[in-house]
Amino acid sequence: MEPNSPLGIILPKVLGGRDAEQVEQAAARVPDAPPALDLLDIIRPEGADPDELLKERFLCKGGGLLMCGQTGVGKSSFNMQALVAWALGKSCFGIEPTRALTSLLVQAENDSVDIAEFRDGVFRGLELTDGERAPLRGRVHVVRENARTAMEFIAHTLRPLVERLRPDLLWIDPALAYLGGESNSQKDVGGFLRNLLNPLLTEFQCAAIVVHHGNKPPSGQDRPQWKAGDFAYLGGGSAEWANWARAVIVIRSIGHEEVYELRAAKRGRRLRWQDKDGQPTCCKYIAWSAEPNVICWREPDPAEIEELLAEDKPGRQRTCDLIEILHCIEANPARHQGFYKDLASEALDCSPQAVQRAIQDGVGKGWIRFAEKGRTRLYHLTDKGRNQASERPSAHDWKNH
């Protein structure tokens, strides 16, 4: 550090010696002020844009994509599927790379066995032969980092890795593991994304895909009032998460254990997705593999979606008696949600979605609990739930339904 430089004089008084030195080193890498261009002199490239990574300029070098979803929806497995497909130059659910893209995945939540399960599930789900997998060698690197945050993370984890590997795509999963600040603070989020991460992306001409947990799903009347652009702000905390991102993708629960909504919540029209009627859309459905123990996503058949959307048929009750659901679960413990939806919707003459909402309500009240078996939740009553059920006899013989 130059002792007589402005930073050398001021920073040691504000920060500790090591932090001050890191700030000055970062400042030294900041280029001179960019040139001012006359608006009429700015030129669009003829033909393909050399900076484009995901087609139709959905994501370009130096940009950031925010991947959002509530905890447990399968963001990590989806990301593995995307980076494998893009490393092979293939489309992933209609998101097309311009070429075979290299990736560096820096993550904190999954151990090596988790990563291997995701990888093998994708290989099997996509039916990749050994020969088709071979080009992946050297195109995808995975790092587990769970010690550094903020400037330490950028300077001592990302910078050396990006400088050595020169990936097209830098994946950060999840953002909160590395932020080193408050998720709802514009200052902390903007400082991390705009002032620490962006200069790295610009310097090494790569793009970042930042994985971020979503807020708790809204209930009641909130969800139907959401508009298309609102989904970009699904991520928990400051609006700066979505404001920073050039593009936003959301994986959202629709109340089904196997089928989810994939929504391109920002710049989605650039993907040129179409619905079943050939109309432009920014959302589609994705589903877990139907093959047991294979962790991979697929596009569901149209018939599956029609059946799913028809579950809440007009004319059937949209609510059901939670106490009866407690009796149903007590009589048939350790079953999956689909079992109770089928059984109770017929017995109570209500929609399956109404049964599902009642189960979720019971979980929220602490009357129902679940144990996870693979990706399936098996439901039981808690002591509180049994006490609630005992206060009123059931009108149905749930064991013999």
18, part of any domain:
yes
Element (H, E) at 143: strand 140-144
Same domain, 275 and 330: no
Distance CA 263, CA 373 (A): 28
Distance CA 291, CA 128 (A): 15
Dihedral in degrees, nearest 10, Cα atoms 93, 98, 103, 108: -40
* Pairing of β 140-144 and β 297-298: unpaired
Task: Give the end of a domain, one of 273, 306, 339.
Answer: 306
Distance CA 168, CA 276 (A): 33
State the average pLDDT over residues 144-149: 96
Q: Give the total number of structural domains in the chain.
A: 3
Same domain, 274 and 363: no
pLDDT of residue 160 exceeding 70:
yes
- Residue 10 — very low, low, confident or very high, per pLDDT cuts 50/70/90? very low
State the average pLDDT over residues 200-210: 97
What per-residue confidence (pLDDT) applies to 222? Answer: 45
What per-residue confidence (pLDDT) applies to 7? Answer: 42
What per-residue confidence (pLDDT) applies to 9? Answer: 47
Q: What is the mean pLDDT of the chain?
A: 86
Same domain, 218 and 340: no
The alpha carbon of 43 is separated from its chain's Cα centroid by a whole number of angstroms, namely 35
**Residue 40 in tokens:** 């009429």
Q: In which residue are the tokens 């047991």 written?
A: 292
41, part of any domain:
no
Same domain, 283 and 338: no
Distance CA 288, CA 257 (A): 9
Provide the 8-state DSSP code for 2. Answer: -
Beta bridge partners of 172: 106, 210
**Domain containing residue 100: CATH number:** 3.40.50.300
What per-residue confidence (pLDDT) applies to 317? Answer: 54
Instruction: Name the least confident of 69-78, 154-163, 169-178.
Output: 69-78
Task: Give the end of a domain, one of 306, 340, 364.
Answer: 306
Element (H, E) at 130: helix 130-133
Same domain, 373 and 264: no
Distance CA 400, CA 371 (A): 24
**Domain containing residue 394: CATH number:** 1.10.10.10
State the average pLDDT over residues 28-39: 79
What per-residue confidence (pLDDT) applies to 45? Answer: 86
39, part of any domain:
no
**Residue 167 in tokens:** 């990936």
State the average pLDDT over residues 330-359: 88
Same domain, 291 and 142: yes
Task: Give the end of a domain, one of 306, 333, 368.
Answer: 306
- This prediction has a pTM of 0.70
Instruction: State the amino acid at position 160 in one-letter form.
Output: P
pLDDT of residue 308 exceeding 50:
yes
Domain range holding 24? 1-29
What per-residue confidence (pLDDT) applies to 275? Answer: 87
pLDDT of residue 206 exceeding 60:
yes
* Pairing of β 59-60 and β 52-54: antiparallel
Distance CA 117, CA 295 (A): 7
pLDDT of residue 389 exceeding 70:
yes
**What confidence tens digit (pLDDT) does each residue in 161-204 have?**
999 999 999 999 999 999 999 999 999 999 999 999 999 999 99
Could you count the other beta carbons within 10 Å of the beta carbon of residue 238?
21
50, part of any domain:
no
Provide the 8-state DSSP code for 37. Answer: -
191, part of any domain:
yes
What per-residue confidence (pLDDT) applies to 278? Answer: 86
**Residue 180 in tokens:** 């080193």
The alpha carbon of 100 is separated from its chain's Cα centroid by a whole number of angstroms, namely 22
What per-residue confidence (pLDDT) applies to 230? Answer: 55
- Residue 376 — very low, low, confident or very high, per pLDDT cuts 50/70/90? confident
Instruction: Name the least confident of 112-126, 220-234, 275-289.
Output: 220-234
State the average pLDDT over residues 290-315: 75
State the average pLDDT over residues 58-86: 94
Cβ neighbours for 310, distance < 8 A, ≥ 6 positions apart: none
Please say whether the beta carbons of 137 and 70 come within 8 A: no
40, part of any domain:
no
- Residue 232 — very low, low, confident or very high, per pLDDT cuts 50/70/90? low
316, part of any domain:
no
What per-residue confidence (pLDDT) applies to 399? Answer: 84
What per-residue confidence (pLDDT) applies to 60? Answer: 97
Q: In which residue are the tokens 């945050």 written?
A: 149
Closest CA relative to residue 290, chosen from 279, 299, 281: 299
- Residue 71 — very low, low, confident or very high, per pLDDT cuts 50/70/90? confident
Count of positions (residues) in the chain: 401
Element (H, E) at 389: helix 383-390
- Residue 231 — very low, low, confident or very high, per pLDDT cuts 50/70/90? low
State the average pLDDT over residues 288-306: 84
Instruction: Name the least confident of 165-169, 212-216, 285-289, 364-368.
Output: 212-216
Please say whether the beta carbons of 79 and 67 come within 8 A: yes
Closest CA relative to residue 308, chosen from 280, 331, 332, 341: 341
